[in-house]
Amino acid sequence: MKKALFPGSFDPLTLGHVDIIKRGVALFDEVIVAIGINSEKNYMFSLEERKQFIEDAFKNVPKVKVVTYEGLTVQFCKEIKVPFILRGLRNPADFEFEKAIAHTNRKLSKIETVFLLTSARTSFISSSIVRDVIRNNGDYTKLVPDSVRVK
């Protein structure tokens, strides 16, 4: 069974994330969406909310699992025996950043990183942009799945 870990903070889940997860499901038997916990980061949404957003968005997709973790992503992959990390690339800056992490991960382990280019219709979306739209009372609903609703 080929499994891939799709790590991130998902603060919040965006249509870009959804695109990568759906396309990852076509490539892997299981995609584990892993929400990283960083106590030094100030999140807009709680860990429970972020997890619920993802679980609700993929409730009818049995090949998608949602977990949380702390520490190095590559170490977590080793612990749960997942040989692939799945990452989405929106632009050249993403590629340069993700390439350095992928090389480091491969130096630390035998875990491979698989990159998928985001679709043209979602390539401009980032969680930070969505948070900015929310903070400024804009219509964020065109950027996130239906499971993401601000109270």
127 labelled catalytic:
yes
34 membership: H or E segment, kind and range: strand 30-37
Q: Could you say which of 78, 90, 106, 131 is catalytic? A: 90
126: Cα separation from own chain's centroid: 11
126 — phi, psi (to 5°)? -135, 155
Joined tokens for residue 32: 């584990």
Is residue 44 within 8 Å of 30, Cβ to Cβ?
Answer: no
Q: Is 41 known to be catalytic?
A: yes
Token pair in block for residue 119: 């679709």
Q: Compute how many other C-beta atoms are within 10 angstroms of the C-beta atom of residue 84.
A: 19
Q: Is 22 marked active-site?
A: no
* Residues known to be catalytic: 17, 41, 90, 127
